A and B are shown apart, each in its own frame.
Chain A
């Protein structure tokens, strides 16, 4: 969920950035009061007048050029045979060879399956739970309880995946962890949750729920606060009970937020968090644990297949972009407000 809210926030920011344009010097403002005071004319005059501002801009622009755009150019090695001493430019082109290798590799099906299963588990379990928790919090009229619970459930979002993984290792530790003992006592079993491949996915989803469900409610609680209160009064007069009010007023009231969050979630589907999966991966559960992100790491960084793993990463981001535009179009077709 954190990726979702962050992504949503980014998109909102992005939209704003694009929309604040009409004041720009390029297209002269239509509002008379907002006419730019810049000297018009040659860029060199403009530049000289604002040299301090351009100087301030320089480090940031350099940062984006070096650390954001140079790697984008570096993606070209997905179509090359990258040789470290030749560098990105001089390495020979090989076309789609790496993609063909990847698609014909038996790993491909396994990775796609693992990634999609985790994504759908998160989408099917963690996502609805976030909405349910937001609805329950929204029903609380005792504000001290509401604030206390909110304070508590937001905390795990700020902890690192290393801490979450470490806590899991302790709580589920073989023959010793409290949850290991408790669950096995109740079920009368002897399951080693940390190494049993069958328990890998439930554990991942459980961590995700613990860490991010609370944080995810923020955006829904903000939406819930905007639902028209008069409708509730009208519904009460009509004799609607608590659950019918939630079903007929509250949920439709936050429908557009739910759809936006769902679109973002689907767009992020292949981005199973690298740190989380990496930390929970071990020799025994590799078969179910490997996802695109960790595969790129193992094949690229530890085995040095740079070009091949870049191709895998590029494939993943392209599918992500297709997914987000696809769901958006779908949402519009069903006459819902899309994201853009």
Chain B
């Protein structure tokens, strides 16, 4: 379709383009500032109010944090918990989605209804906390992985995906003597690699970013994750009075805060292009069905 451009229309277009470009730049500016600041000297950070390029390039902040045991521990912990957690969550979701994709499995409807109800209503913070405590999972990394192990929304999307795969695939495999587990492992999983990769990324981002679970379940600060460490470093002093910042803690220099933020953000930014490729599609899977 061709829209005839009036003068007013052209002015609007130009203004709109400039405005949207500005929005994009403003979204990015905090990152650029923090990234530049993490490579600047402490003197420059205090002297210059805002900059996107350091005058004097310095790796001091990174040298400092990478020689701080607490930081290394938090980083390694978070990487491991994220890796293990993503695998566990994905396995649990897929093994549950596959039987639920079988339309003739008895009890399927009941289980699906219970899954949907769990999306609408949850026990809430305190009953979940008491459960974790009763299970003996306080100060265990499993408390960061298990409570959110299956996202009901992801479960239903993956179930729908399995359901839409041509039934002939399974039938011919069955004639060749494949078992149900064999069909899942050898036929369905290879076909759903892109879908599973997407949900794996979402699970990984969820665990990496999680602040509430470590806050609730890890009181031992030698077990803190990167988000907890970040919070301790950047909350300038315990003017917070919320009790979760170590009182003996001396706030670090500004440059160190910049560097820790960069380390916590970087993995997300690296994986973002892969995420972006899929999330719009993922949301559309949902809306087309609605």
Task: List the interface of chain A (C-beta within 8 A of B).
Answer: 5-6, 8-18, 20-21, 23-26, 36-38, 43, 46-47, 50, 52-54, 56-57, 59-61, 63-64, 66-75, 77, 82, 87-88, 133, 136-137, 139-142, 145, 148-149, 151-156, 158-163, 165-167, 169-171, 173, 176, 178, 181-182, 195, 210, 214, 218-219, 222, 229, 232-233, 236, 241-242, 274-275, 278-279, 281-284, 286, 293, 296-298, 300-302, 306, 309-310, 313-314, 317, 321
Asked whether B56 is an interface residue with its Cβ less than 8 Å from the other chain, the reply is no
Question: Are the CB atoms of A18 and B242 closer together than 8 Å?
Answer: no
Q: Looking across the interface, which residue of chain A has its beta carbon closest to that of B289?
A: A16
Q: Looking across the interface, which residue of chain B has its beta carbon closest to that of A260?
A: B290
Given contacts A67-B146, A296-B125, 4 further A-B contacts (CB under 8 A): A16-B160, A26-B109, A60-B155, A302-B243
Question: Are the CB atoms of B28 and A152 closer together than 8 Å?
Answer: yes
Question: Are the CB atoms of B240 and A152 closer together than 8 Å?
Answer: no
- Distance to closest chain B CB from A4 (angstroms): 12
Task: Return 20 A-B CB contacts under 8 Å, by A number.
Answer: A5-B283, A9-B153, A13-B156, A26-B109, A59-B92, A60-B96, A60-B150, A67-B131, A70-B131, A74-B131, A88-B130, A137-B20, A155-B269, A160-B264, A163-B209, A169-B235, A274-B212, A281-B240, A286-B241, A309-B125
Q: Looking across the interface, which residue of chain B has its beta carbon closest to that of A22?
A: B103
**What is the bound-complex CA distance between A279 and B185, given in angstroms?**
43
- A8, A68, A302 — which one has the most chain B CB atoms within 10 A of its CB? A68
Task: List the interface of chain B (C-beta within 8 A of A).
Answer: 1, 3-4, 6, 8-9, 12-13, 16-17, 19-21, 23-24, 27-28, 30, 33-34, 37, 46, 49-50, 92-93, 95-96, 98-100, 102-106, 108-109, 111-116, 118-131, 134-135, 146-147, 149-150, 152-153, 155-157, 159-160, 163, 179-181, 184, 205, 208-212, 215-216, 227, 230-231, 233-236, 239-243, 254, 257-258, 260-261, 264-265, 268-269, 272, 275-276, 279-280, 283-284, 286-287, 289-290
**What is the bound-complex CA distance between A214 and B227, given in angstroms?**
23
- Distance to closest chain B CB from A25 (angstroms): 4
Question: Are the CB atoms of B122 and A72 closer together than 8 Å?
Answer: yes
Chain B residues contacting A165 (CB-CB under 8 Å) are 231, 234
Question: Are the CB atoms of A155 and B104 closer together than 8 Å?
Answer: no
Partner of B111, one of A6, A61, A274: A61
Chain B residues contacting A11 (CB-CB under 8 Å) are 290
User: Known contacts being A159-B268, A162-B230, A163-B261, is A139 close to B239, with CB within 8 Å?
Assistant: no
**What is the bound-complex CA distance between A67 and B122, given in angstroms?**
10
Interface of A is mostly: helix
Partner of B180, one of A53, A173, A296: A53
Q: Looking across the interface, which residue of chain A has its beta carbon closest to that of B24?
A: A152
Chain A residues contacting B180 (CB-CB under 8 Å) are 50, 52-53, 56
Question: Are the CB atoms of B106 and A282 closer together than 8 Å?
Answer: no
Interface of B is mostly: helix
Q: Looking across the interface, which residue of chain A has its beta carbon closest to that of B28?
A: A152
Chain B residues contacting A178 (CB-CB under 8 Å) are 33, 49-50
Q: Looking across the interface, which residue of chain B has its beta carbon closest to that of A70?
A: B131
Question: Are the CB atoms of A140 and B99 closer together than 8 Å?
Answer: no
- Distance to closest chain A CB from B279 (angstroms): 8
Partner of A219, one of B16, B163, B287: B287
Question: Are the CB atoms of B99 and A54 closer together than 8 Å?
Answer: yes
Partner of B242, one of A74, A167, A281: A281
Partner of A64, one of B9, B150, B287: B150
Question: Are the CB atoms of B230 and A233 closer together than 8 Å?
Answer: no
Chain B residues contacting A156 (CB-CB under 8 Å) are 27
Partner of B104, one of A17, A36, A73, A182: A36
**What is the bound-complex CA distance between A5 and B279, given in angstroms?**
12
- Distance to closest chain A CB from B23 (angstroms): 6
Partner of A25, one of B105, B124, B242: B105
- Distance to closest chain B CB from A202 (angstroms): 16
User: Known contacts being A21-B109, A56-B181, is A279 close to B239, with CB within 8 Å?
Assistant: no
Question: Are the CB atoms of A222 and B284 closer together than 8 Å?
Answer: yes
Question: Are the CB atoms of B105 and A170 closer together than 8 Å?
Answer: no
Partner of A140, one of B16, B105, B261: B16
Question: Are the CB atoms of A17 and B122 closer together than 8 Å?
Answer: no
User: Known contacts being A61-B96, A178-B49, A214-B27, is A6 close to B234, with CB within 8 Å?
Assistant: no
Q: Looking across the interface, which residue of chain B has its beta carbon closest to that of A233?
A: B1
Question: Are the CB atoms of B130 and A159 closer together than 8 Å?
Answer: no
Chain B residues contacting A152 (CB-CB under 8 Å) are 23-24, 27-28
User: Known contacts being A17-B156, A279-B231, is A313 close to B124, with CB within 8 Å?
Assistant: yes
- Distance to closest chain B CB from A111 (angstroms): 15
**Minimum-distance CB pairs A-B, first 4:** A71-B123, A60-B96, A74-B127, A23-B103
Question: Are the CB atoms of A142 and B234 closer together than 8 Å?
Answer: no
Q: Looking across the interface, which residue of chain A has its beta carbon closest to that of B160?
A: A16
- B28, B33, B130, B210 — which one has the most chain A CB atoms within 10 A of its CB? B130
Chain B residues contacting A24 (CB-CB under 8 Å) are 103-104, 108-109
Question: Are the CB atoms of B216 and A301 closer together than 8 Å?
Answer: yes
User: Known contacts being A155-B27, A282-B240, is A36 close to B126, with CB within 8 Å?
Assistant: no
Chain B residues contacting A57 (CB-CB under 8 Å) are 95-96, 99-100, 111
- Distance to closest chain A CB from B178 (angstroms): 11
Question: Are the CB atoms of A173 and B16 closer together than 8 Å?
Answer: no
**What is the bound-complex CA distance between A86 and B82, given in angstroms?**
35
**What is the bound-complex CA distance between A314 and B272, given in angstroms?**
36
Chain B residues contacting A68 (CB-CB under 8 Å) are 118, 122-123
Chain A residues contacting B6 (CB-CB under 8 Å) are 241
- A153, A160, A293 — which one has the most chain B CB atoms within 10 A of its CB? A160
